Structure 1
Protein backbone atom coordinates (compact mmCIF):
# COMPACT_ATOMS: atom_id res chain seq x y z
CA UNK A 1 0.00 0.00 0.00
CA UNK A 2 1.35 3.41 -0.95
CA UNK A 3 1.42 6.43 1.36
CA UNK A 4 -1.31 7.99 -0.82
CA UNK A 5 -3.52 4.93 -0.18
CA UNK A 6 -2.88 5.18 3.56
CA UNK A 7 -3.82 8.88 3.54
CA UNK A 8 -7.10 8.07 1.77
CA UNK A 9 -7.85 5.40 4.39
CA UNK A 10 -7.14 7.79 7.24
CA UNK A 11 -9.39 10.49 5.80
CA UNK A 12 -12.18 7.94 5.33
CA UNK A 13 -12.03 7.18 9.07
CA UNK A 14 -12.46 10.80 10.12
CA UNK A 15 -16.24 10.58 10.12
CA UNK A 16 -18.17 13.73 11.05
CA UNK A 17 -17.13 16.39 8.52
CA UNK A 18 -19.70 18.72 10.08
CA UNK A 19 -17.38 19.16 13.06
CA UNK A 20 -15.31 21.49 10.85
CA UNK A 21 -18.21 23.53 9.46
CA UNK A 22 -17.59 27.30 9.62
CA UNK A 23 -21.17 27.61 10.88
CA UNK A 24 -19.96 26.20 14.21
CA UNK A 25 -18.89 28.98 16.60
CA UNK A 26 -15.57 27.37 17.56
CA UNK A 27 -14.62 26.84 13.90
CA UNK A 28 -15.62 30.41 13.03
CA UNK A 29 -13.43 31.75 15.86
CA UNK A 30 -10.50 29.65 14.66
CA UNK A 31 -10.86 30.78 11.04
CA UNK A 32 -11.14 34.46 11.97
CA UNK A 33 -8.10 34.27 14.22
CA UNK A 34 -6.06 32.51 11.56
CA UNK A 35 -7.02 35.05 8.90
CA UNK A 36 -5.95 37.96 11.10
CA UNK A 37 -2.62 36.27 11.77
CA UNK A 38 -2.17 35.51 8.07
CA UNK A 39 -2.80 39.13 7.09
CA UNK A 40 -0.24 40.24 9.67
CA UNK A 41 2.38 37.87 8.24
CA UNK A 42 1.70 39.13 4.71
CA UNK A 43 2.00 42.74 5.84
CA UNK A 44 5.33 42.00 7.56
CA UNK A 45 6.55 40.41 4.30
CA UNK A 46 5.46 43.43 2.25
CA UNK A 47 2.58 41.62 0.57
CA UNK A 48 -0.20 44.18 0.19
CA UNK A 49 -2.06 42.58 -2.74
CA UNK A 50 -2.61 39.08 -4.10
CA UNK A 51 -3.82 39.77 -7.65
CA UNK A 52 -0.37 39.41 -9.22
CA UNK A 53 0.75 36.43 -7.14
CA UNK A 54 1.00 32.87 -8.41
CA UNK A 55 -0.17 30.59 -5.64
CA UNK A 56 -0.55 26.83 -5.32
CA UNK A 57 -2.21 24.99 -2.46
CA UNK A 58 -1.18 21.48 -1.48
CA UNK A 59 -4.13 19.49 -0.18
CA UNK A 60 -6.75 21.95 -1.41
CA UNK A 61 -9.64 19.73 -0.30
CA UNK A 62 -13.10 21.04 -1.17
CA UNK A 63 -11.67 24.46 -2.04
CA UNK A 64 -12.28 26.48 1.11
CA UNK A 65 -8.82 28.05 1.36
CA UNK A 66 -8.71 28.85 -2.36
CA UNK A 67 -12.11 30.52 -2.06
CA UNK A 68 -10.76 32.61 0.80
CA UNK A 69 -7.80 33.68 -1.36
CA UNK A 70 -10.20 34.73 -4.11
CA UNK A 71 -12.15 36.85 -1.61
CA UNK A 72 -8.88 38.49 -0.57
CA UNK A 73 -8.14 39.52 -4.16
CA UNK A 74 -6.21 36.64 -5.72
CA UNK A 75 -6.73 36.14 -9.47
CA UNK A 76 -8.30 32.75 -10.25
CA UNK A 77 -6.12 32.19 -13.28
CA UNK A 78 -3.04 32.45 -11.04
CA UNK A 79 -4.28 29.92 -8.48
CA UNK A 80 -3.73 26.16 -8.48
CA UNK A 81 -5.07 23.56 -6.09
CA UNK A 82 -3.72 20.03 -5.72
CA UNK A 83 -5.91 17.41 -4.04
CA UNK A 84 -5.26 13.69 -3.67
CA UNK A 85 -8.82 12.52 -2.97
CA UNK A 86 -11.14 12.46 -6.00
CA UNK A 87 -14.36 13.24 -4.09
CA UNK A 88 -12.85 16.35 -2.48
CA UNK A 89 -11.36 17.41 -5.81
CA UNK A 90 -14.84 17.11 -7.39
CA UNK A 91 -16.37 19.27 -4.65
CA UNK A 92 -13.78 21.98 -5.27
CA UNK A 93 -14.38 21.87 -9.02
CA UNK A 94 -18.07 22.57 -8.45
CA UNK A 95 -17.30 25.48 -6.11
CA UNK A 96 -14.46 27.31 -7.84
CA UNK A 97 -14.30 29.20 -11.16
CA UNK A 98 -13.16 27.25 -14.23
CA UNK A 99 -10.15 29.53 -14.75
CA UNK A 100 -8.69 28.25 -11.48
CA UNK A 101 -6.52 25.17 -12.07
CA UNK A 102 -7.33 22.09 -10.00
CA UNK A 103 -5.20 18.97 -10.12
CA UNK A 104 -6.31 15.62 -8.74
CA UNK A 105 -2.88 14.20 -7.96
CA UNK A 106 -0.28 13.23 -5.41
CA UNK A 107 1.34 16.61 -4.73
CA UNK A 108 4.84 15.13 -4.68
CA UNK A 109 4.35 14.20 -8.36
CA UNK A 110 2.29 17.24 -9.42
CA UNK A 111 3.36 18.96 -12.67
CA UNK A 112 4.28 22.32 -11.13
CA UNK A 113 7.23 23.99 -12.84
CA UNK A 114 10.26 24.71 -10.64
CA UNK A 115 10.55 28.37 -9.63
CA UNK A 116 7.06 29.17 -10.91
CA UNK A 117 5.20 30.13 -7.71
CA UNK A 118 5.15 33.12 -5.40
CA UNK A 119 3.50 31.19 -2.58
CA UNK A 120 2.82 27.56 -1.72
CA UNK A 121 0.15 27.01 0.91
CA UNK A 122 -0.41 23.96 3.10
CA UNK A 123 -2.99 23.63 5.86
CA UNK A 124 -2.92 20.53 8.11
CA UNK A 125 -1.51 18.33 5.36
CA UNK A 126 1.81 17.42 6.94
CA UNK A 127 0.17 16.26 10.17
CA UNK A 128 -1.66 13.67 8.05
CA UNK A 129 1.65 12.36 6.67
CA UNK A 130 2.99 9.86 9.18
CA UNK A 131 5.97 8.78 7.07
CA UNK A 132 8.98 11.10 7.63
CA UNK A 133 10.23 10.36 4.12
CA UNK A 134 6.90 11.50 2.62
CA UNK A 135 7.03 14.70 4.66
CA UNK A 136 10.54 15.41 3.46
CA UNK A 137 9.70 14.67 -0.19
CA UNK A 138 6.66 16.96 -0.12
CA UNK A 139 8.61 19.78 1.54
CA UNK A 140 11.32 19.43 -1.13
CA UNK A 141 8.71 19.64 -3.90
CA UNK A 142 7.07 22.73 -2.39
CA UNK A 143 10.43 24.45 -2.01
CA UNK A 144 11.37 23.57 -5.59
CA UNK A 145 8.20 25.20 -6.95
CA UNK A 146 8.95 28.54 -5.31
CA UNK A 147 10.77 31.30 -7.08
CA UNK A 148 13.42 33.24 -5.09
CA UNK A 149 11.58 35.71 -2.90
CA UNK A 150 8.54 33.44 -2.67
CA UNK A 151 7.39 31.69 0.48
CA UNK A 152 5.60 28.73 1.98
CA UNK A 153 2.53 29.64 4.04
CA UNK A 154 2.23 26.89 6.64
CA UNK A 155 -0.58 26.06 9.07
CA UNK A 156 -0.46 22.89 11.11
CA UNK A 157 -0.56 21.62 14.65
CA UNK A 158 2.53 20.95 16.68
CA UNK A 159 1.36 18.37 19.22
CA UNK A 160 0.04 14.85 18.84
CA UNK A 161 -3.63 14.12 19.41
CA UNK A 162 -3.76 11.12 21.78
CA UNK A 163 -7.30 10.33 20.60
CA UNK A 164 -6.36 10.25 16.91
CA UNK A 165 -3.53 7.94 15.81
CA UNK A 166 -4.08 8.98 12.18
CA UNK A 167 -2.31 12.31 12.68
CA UNK A 168 1.01 13.41 14.12
CA UNK A 169 1.99 16.93 15.10
CA UNK A 170 4.83 18.81 13.44
CA UNK A 171 6.96 20.52 16.10
CA UNK A 172 8.67 23.77 15.22
CA UNK A 173 12.09 22.11 15.21
CA UNK A 174 10.90 19.61 12.60
CA UNK A 175 9.40 22.43 10.52
CA UNK A 176 12.76 24.18 10.48
CA UNK A 177 14.40 20.93 9.40
CA UNK A 178 11.96 20.49 6.51
CA UNK A 179 12.90 23.89 5.08
CA UNK A 180 16.49 24.42 6.26
CA UNK A 181 17.20 27.23 3.78
CA UNK A 182 14.05 29.19 4.62
CA UNK A 183 13.76 32.38 6.62
CA UNK A 184 11.00 31.51 9.05
CA UNK A 185 8.55 33.79 10.83
CA UNK A 186 5.84 32.14 12.87
CA UNK A 187 2.97 32.70 15.26
CA UNK A 188 1.33 30.27 17.64
CA UNK A 189 -2.39 30.26 16.91
CA UNK A 190 -5.61 28.29 17.44
CA UNK A 191 -7.00 27.46 20.83
CA UNK A 192 -6.87 23.69 21.38
CA UNK A 193 -9.94 22.46 19.44
CA UNK A 194 -11.49 20.27 22.18
CA UNK A 195 -11.26 23.21 24.60
CA UNK A 196 -12.55 25.66 21.97
CA UNK A 197 -15.59 23.46 21.29
CA UNK A 198 -16.44 23.21 24.97
CA UNK A 199 -16.00 26.92 25.62
CA UNK A 200 -17.94 28.05 22.56
CA UNK A 201 -20.89 25.93 23.61
CA UNK A 202 -21.07 28.24 26.62
CA UNK A 203 -20.18 31.47 24.78
CA UNK A 204 -17.93 32.30 21.78
CA UNK A 205 -16.72 35.30 23.81
CA UNK A 206 -14.67 32.86 25.89
CA UNK A 207 -12.50 31.90 22.89
CA UNK A 208 -10.25 35.00 22.89
CA UNK A 209 -10.04 34.97 26.69
CA UNK A 210 -8.54 31.49 26.85
CA UNK A 211 -6.64 31.90 23.58
CA UNK A 212 -4.66 34.69 25.23
CA UNK A 213 -2.74 31.94 27.05
CA UNK A 214 0.00 30.82 24.60
CA UNK A 215 0.28 27.33 26.12
CA UNK A 216 -3.32 26.62 25.08
CA UNK A 217 -2.59 27.23 21.38
CA UNK A 218 -1.90 24.06 19.42
CA UNK A 219 -1.02 25.25 15.89
CA UNK A 220 1.68 27.24 14.14
CA UNK A 221 1.10 29.66 11.29
CA UNK A 222 4.43 30.24 9.55
CA UNK A 223 5.84 32.24 6.66
CA UNK A 224 8.93 30.49 5.27
CA UNK A 225 10.65 32.79 2.76
CA UNK A 226 12.98 31.55 0.04
CA UNK A 227 16.08 33.72 -0.34
Structure 2
Protein backbone atom coordinates (compact mmCIF):
# COMPACT_ATOMS: atom_id res chain seq x y z
CA UNK A 1 0.00 0.00 0.00
CA UNK A 2 1.12 3.54 -0.71
CA UNK A 3 1.50 5.24 2.69
CA UNK A 4 -0.51 8.18 1.35
CA UNK A 5 -3.51 5.84 1.15
CA UNK A 6 -3.37 4.84 4.83
CA UNK A 7 -5.54 7.70 6.22
CA UNK A 8 -8.35 6.73 3.82
CA UNK A 9 -7.94 3.07 4.76
CA UNK A 10 -8.12 3.95 8.46
CA UNK A 11 -11.38 5.83 7.90
CA UNK A 12 -12.80 2.80 6.05
CA UNK A 13 -11.76 0.46 8.85
CA UNK A 14 -13.37 2.66 11.49
CA UNK A 15 -16.57 2.81 9.43
CA UNK A 16 -16.81 -0.99 9.72
CA UNK A 17 -16.74 -0.94 13.50
CA UNK A 18 -19.91 -1.60 15.45
CA UNK A 19 -18.84 -1.57 19.08
CA UNK A 20 -22.19 -0.79 20.70
CA UNK A 21 -21.60 0.00 24.37
CA UNK A 22 -18.43 -2.13 24.64
CA UNK A 23 -16.30 0.94 25.35
CA UNK A 24 -18.84 2.87 27.41
CA UNK A 25 -17.13 4.60 30.37
CA UNK A 26 -20.00 3.36 32.53
CA UNK A 27 -18.84 -0.25 32.17
CA UNK A 28 -16.72 -1.28 35.18
CA UNK A 29 -13.91 -2.76 33.11
CA UNK A 30 -13.67 0.48 31.11
CA UNK A 31 -13.64 2.98 33.96
CA UNK A 32 -11.12 0.83 35.81
CA UNK A 33 -8.94 0.66 32.70
CA UNK A 34 -9.04 4.46 32.46
CA UNK A 35 -8.25 4.87 36.15
CA UNK A 36 -5.31 2.46 35.99
CA UNK A 37 -3.88 4.30 33.00
CA UNK A 38 -4.32 7.66 34.72
CA UNK A 39 -2.53 6.41 37.85
CA UNK A 40 0.36 5.24 35.66
CA UNK A 41 0.48 8.61 33.92
CA UNK A 42 0.54 10.51 37.20
CA UNK A 43 3.38 8.32 38.49
CA UNK A 44 5.37 8.95 35.33
CA UNK A 45 4.83 12.72 35.48
CA UNK A 46 5.97 12.74 39.10
CA UNK A 47 9.02 10.63 38.23
CA UNK A 48 10.20 13.13 35.61
CA UNK A 49 9.55 16.13 37.85
CA UNK A 50 6.39 17.56 36.29
CA UNK A 51 4.47 19.40 38.99
CA UNK A 52 2.00 21.26 36.78
CA UNK A 53 0.59 20.73 33.31
CA UNK A 54 -0.47 24.38 32.98
CA UNK A 55 2.71 25.65 31.25
CA UNK A 56 3.08 22.67 28.92
CA UNK A 57 2.25 22.69 25.21
CA UNK A 58 0.59 19.34 24.50
CA UNK A 59 -0.71 17.81 21.26
CA UNK A 60 -2.75 14.62 21.04
CA UNK A 61 -2.65 12.60 17.82
CA UNK A 62 -6.03 10.94 17.24
CA UNK A 63 -7.97 12.83 19.89
CA UNK A 64 -11.26 11.13 19.02
CA UNK A 65 -14.21 12.75 20.78
CA UNK A 66 -11.93 14.66 23.13
CA UNK A 67 -11.98 12.42 26.20
CA UNK A 68 -8.23 12.38 26.83
CA UNK A 69 -7.98 16.13 26.38
CA UNK A 70 -10.78 16.60 28.90
CA UNK A 71 -8.76 14.45 31.30
CA UNK A 72 -5.71 16.68 30.79
CA UNK A 73 -7.83 19.77 31.46
CA UNK A 74 -9.05 18.21 34.69
CA UNK A 75 -5.43 17.58 35.65
CA UNK A 76 -4.63 21.27 35.18
CA UNK A 77 -3.55 21.69 31.55
CA UNK A 78 -4.25 25.07 29.95
CA UNK A 79 -6.76 24.86 27.07
CA UNK A 80 -4.92 27.44 24.99
CA UNK A 81 -1.82 25.22 25.12
CA UNK A 82 -3.60 22.02 24.05
CA UNK A 83 -4.11 20.77 20.49
CA UNK A 84 -6.14 17.80 19.30
CA UNK A 85 -5.60 16.21 15.87
CA UNK A 86 -8.34 13.97 14.52
CA UNK A 87 -8.69 12.25 11.15
CA UNK A 88 -12.40 11.42 11.21
CA UNK A 89 -14.82 14.33 10.64
CA UNK A 90 -17.54 12.99 12.95
CA UNK A 91 -15.11 12.53 15.85
CA UNK A 92 -13.59 15.94 15.19
CA UNK A 93 -17.08 17.46 15.37
CA UNK A 94 -17.75 15.68 18.66
CA UNK A 95 -14.47 16.92 20.15
CA UNK A 96 -15.20 20.46 19.00
CA UNK A 97 -18.59 20.34 20.75
CA UNK A 98 -17.25 19.25 24.13
CA UNK A 99 -13.88 21.02 24.34
CA UNK A 100 -13.27 24.68 25.22
CA UNK A 101 -13.09 27.10 22.31
CA UNK A 102 -9.55 28.08 23.34
CA UNK A 103 -8.38 24.53 22.64
CA UNK A 104 -7.34 23.92 19.02
CA UNK A 105 -8.93 20.90 17.32
CA UNK A 106 -7.60 20.18 13.82
CA UNK A 107 -9.15 17.70 11.38
CA UNK A 108 -7.14 15.71 8.85
CA UNK A 109 -4.07 13.52 8.40
CA UNK A 110 -1.98 14.11 11.53
CA UNK A 111 1.30 13.45 9.70
CA UNK A 112 0.85 16.75 7.84
CA UNK A 113 -0.80 18.74 10.64
CA UNK A 114 0.32 22.36 11.02
CA UNK A 115 2.17 21.88 14.30
CA UNK A 116 5.30 24.00 14.57
CA UNK A 117 8.65 22.27 14.78
CA UNK A 118 10.13 21.94 18.29
CA UNK A 119 7.02 23.54 19.80
CA UNK A 120 5.53 20.80 22.00
CA UNK A 121 6.43 19.60 25.47
CA UNK A 122 4.32 16.45 25.11
CA UNK A 123 2.85 14.60 22.13
CA UNK A 124 0.29 11.93 23.02
CA UNK A 125 -0.94 8.93 21.11
CA UNK A 126 -3.45 6.54 22.68
CA UNK A 127 -4.20 3.43 20.57
CA UNK A 128 -3.59 5.18 17.26
CA UNK A 129 -0.60 3.23 15.95
CA UNK A 130 -2.32 -0.13 16.44
CA UNK A 131 -4.89 1.08 13.88
CA UNK A 132 -2.18 1.89 11.31
CA UNK A 133 -1.40 -1.19 9.23
CA UNK A 134 1.11 0.44 6.88
CA UNK A 135 4.65 0.42 8.29
CA UNK A 136 5.76 3.35 6.17
CA UNK A 137 2.88 5.51 7.36
CA UNK A 138 3.61 4.57 10.98
CA UNK A 139 7.16 5.79 10.45
CA UNK A 140 5.99 8.96 8.72
CA UNK A 141 3.67 9.85 11.59
CA UNK A 142 6.26 9.01 14.25
CA UNK A 143 8.80 11.23 12.50
CA UNK A 144 6.32 14.12 12.46
CA UNK A 145 5.58 13.67 16.17
CA UNK A 146 9.31 13.69 16.93
CA UNK A 147 9.83 16.90 14.94
CA UNK A 148 7.11 18.66 16.91
CA UNK A 149 8.79 17.95 20.24
CA UNK A 150 11.04 20.43 21.95
CA UNK A 151 14.40 19.07 23.09
CA UNK A 152 13.65 17.58 26.50
CA UNK A 153 10.02 16.91 25.56
CA UNK A 154 8.45 13.47 25.32
CA UNK A 155 6.04 11.27 23.42
CA UNK A 156 3.44 9.75 25.74
CA UNK A 157 2.52 6.42 24.18
CA UNK A 158 -0.35 4.11 25.15
CA UNK A 159 -1.12 1.15 22.94
CA UNK A 160 -1.50 -2.59 22.93
CA UNK A 161 1.36 -4.91 22.13
CA UNK A 162 -0.38 -8.11 21.01
CA UNK A 163 -2.54 -8.88 18.00
CA UNK A 164 -6.28 -9.30 18.32
CA UNK A 165 -7.10 -12.45 16.30
CA UNK A 166 -10.76 -11.39 16.09
CA UNK A 167 -10.00 -7.99 14.57
CA UNK A 168 -7.81 -7.78 11.48
CA UNK A 169 -8.28 -4.01 11.34
CA UNK A 170 -5.76 -3.57 14.16
CA UNK A 171 -2.43 -5.06 15.14
CA UNK A 172 -0.30 -4.98 18.24
CA UNK A 173 2.72 -2.69 18.43
CA UNK A 174 5.43 -4.40 20.49
CA UNK A 175 8.04 -2.36 22.32
CA UNK A 176 10.67 -3.38 19.77
CA UNK A 177 8.63 -1.59 17.11
CA UNK A 178 8.20 1.47 19.33
CA UNK A 179 11.98 1.67 19.63
CA UNK A 180 12.28 1.42 15.84
CA UNK A 181 9.83 4.29 15.42
CA UNK A 182 11.68 6.53 17.90
CA UNK A 183 15.32 5.39 17.70
CA UNK A 184 16.66 8.51 19.41
CA UNK A 185 14.18 8.35 22.27
CA UNK A 186 14.91 7.38 25.85
CA UNK A 187 12.07 4.98 26.56
CA UNK A 188 10.54 4.06 29.90
CA UNK A 189 7.56 1.71 29.72
CA UNK A 190 5.08 0.18 32.13
CA UNK A 191 2.73 -2.66 31.27
CA UNK A 192 -0.89 -1.68 32.01
CA UNK A 193 -4.49 -2.62 31.15
CA UNK A 194 -5.85 -6.02 32.00
CA UNK A 195 -6.50 -7.98 28.80
CA UNK A 196 -9.97 -6.79 27.72
CA UNK A 197 -11.58 -10.26 27.35
CA UNK A 198 -10.34 -11.19 30.82
CA UNK A 199 -11.43 -7.82 32.21
CA UNK A 200 -14.96 -8.29 30.90
CA UNK A 201 -15.26 -11.75 32.47
CA UNK A 202 -13.73 -10.64 35.77
CA UNK A 203 -15.98 -7.61 36.09
CA UNK A 204 -19.08 -9.67 35.36
CA UNK A 205 -18.13 -11.78 38.36
CA UNK A 206 -17.26 -8.74 40.49
CA UNK A 207 -15.72 -5.35 39.59
CA UNK A 208 -13.30 -5.62 42.52
CA UNK A 209 -11.46 -8.40 40.70
CA UNK A 210 -10.05 -5.96 38.13
CA UNK A 211 -7.33 -4.33 40.24
CA UNK A 212 -5.61 -7.44 41.66
CA UNK A 213 -5.58 -9.07 38.23
CA UNK A 214 -4.33 -5.88 36.54
CA UNK A 215 -1.46 -5.77 39.03
CA UNK A 216 -0.02 -8.86 37.30
CA UNK A 217 2.01 -7.60 34.29
CA UNK A 218 1.66 -10.90 32.48
CA UNK A 219 -2.10 -10.37 32.22
CA UNK A 220 -1.79 -6.85 30.77
CA UNK A 221 -1.90 -6.21 27.03
CA UNK A 222 -0.93 -2.52 26.76
CA UNK A 223 2.04 -0.37 27.62
CA UNK A 224 2.23 3.21 28.79
CA UNK A 225 5.57 4.53 27.54
CA UNK A 226 7.41 7.79 28.09
CA UNK A 227 9.76 8.43 25.15
CA UNK A 228 12.00 11.38 26.00
CA UNK A 229 13.75 13.51 23.39
CA UNK A 230 17.29 14.36 24.45
CA UNK A 231 17.70 17.97 25.58
Aligned residue in 1 for 2:141: 138
Cα distance between partner residues in 2 of 1:209 and 1:14:
31
Aligned residue in 1 for 2:226: 223
Displacement after TM superposition at 1:123 (Å): 0.2
Structure-2-length-normalised TM-score: 0.97
SS of 2:183 mapped into structure 1: coil
Which ranges in structure 1 are unaligned for 5 or more consecutive residues?
A: none
Q: Deviations over 1:124-175 (max 9, x none)?
A: 0000000000100000000000000100000000000000000010001110
Q: Does residue 83 of structure 1 match 2:83?
A: no
Q: Map residues 38-77 of structure 1 onto 2, 5 A cutoff.
A: 38-77=41-80
Displacement after TM superposition at 1:212 (Å): 2.4
Q: Please say which of residues 153-162 and 208-217 is displaced more in the overlay.
A: 208-217
Aligned residue in 2 for 1:148: 151
Aligned residue in 2 for 1:178: 181
Q: Deviations over 1:167-214 (max 9, x none)?
A: 010001110111010111110000000110111011111111222221
Cα distance between partner residues in 2 of 1:123 and 1:14:
18
Aligned residue in 1 for 2:121: 118
SS of 1:2 mapped into structure 2: helix
Off by >2 Å, runs of 4+ in structure 1? none
Which ranges in structure 2 are unaligned for 5 or more consecutive residues?
A: none
Equivalenced residue count is: 227
Q: Deviations over 1:38-84 (max 9, x none)?
A: 00011111111100000000000000000000000000000000000
Cα distance between partner residues in 1 of 2:217 and 2:229:
28
